[in-house]
Amino acid sequence: MNNIGKEIYKAILLKYGIIQTKQIEPITIDNGKVKIVWNQVVIKGKNKGRQPDITVINKEKGHLIIDVSIVGKYRLDKAYKEKLEEYKDTSVLIKQAHGLNTMQVTPVIIIIDGLIHKRTTSEINKAGIEVDWNKAIREVLYINQEMIIRCYAQKPKCIERGEKAARTRYRGVHSSSMQT
């Protein structure tokens, strides 16, 4: 998940002309016009503990909070709404603390199969950030593959549970009917 956030972070740095290459480790950067905060609590106080993956505070254009989540396929819309709600108060506090006019919370929600929430891509594009989504999706699929391998290598019982669930899902289909 961190690597997906890093790809977005690097795209933001390129957008603001802070770096010319994509080879940089995420840190907090403030060039006077824009402050880009990586994985830190931005506002302390009543909402402490809210630590978005990326916070962009642009003194001219407002601010943007980006938080990345990888979820199961039935949680795509729910996770998007939860992230919006989770950062609503933090966003208002950032807006007030820096005297900004606009605010935007952008959840980056990707399901484990590699599908990206449709509003994620449109919000990122609207902010003018050019993300290499193919690279981000490869990261998600790599994580998924790693979990499957770990399951097979360390916990044989999870395989049995998966096979049992598959048999339950496809009750009407028998192996003899699938033979040709």
Q: Write the pLDDT tens digit of every residue in 69-106.
A: 888 878 888 999 999 998 888 888 888 888 888 888 99
End-to-end CA distance of the chain: 43
Q: What is the pLDDT of residue 76?
A: 85
Q: What is the pLDDT of residue 167?
A: 42
Q: Write the pLDDT tens digit of every residue in 106-145.
A: 999 888 777 888 898 889 988 888 988 888 778 777 776 7
Backbone angles phi, psi at 116, to 5 degrees: -105, 140
Q: What is the pLDDT of residue 103?
A: 85
pTM, to two decimals = 0.72
The label of the residue with tokens 């802070």 reads 18
Q: What is the pLDDT of residue 6?
A: 83
Q: Write the pLDDT tens digit of every residue in 1-22.
A: 577 888 888 888 888 888 766 5
Partnered with residue 30 across adjacent β-strands are 35
Return d(Cα 32, Cα 64) in angstroms, integer: 17
Return d(Cα 36, Cα 176) in angstroms, integer: 59
| Alpha-carbon distance values, 76 to 89, 107, 174 (Å) | 22, 11, 32
Return d(Cα 52, Cα 66) in angstroms, integer: 6
Q: What share of the chain in percent tops pLDDT 70?
A: 74
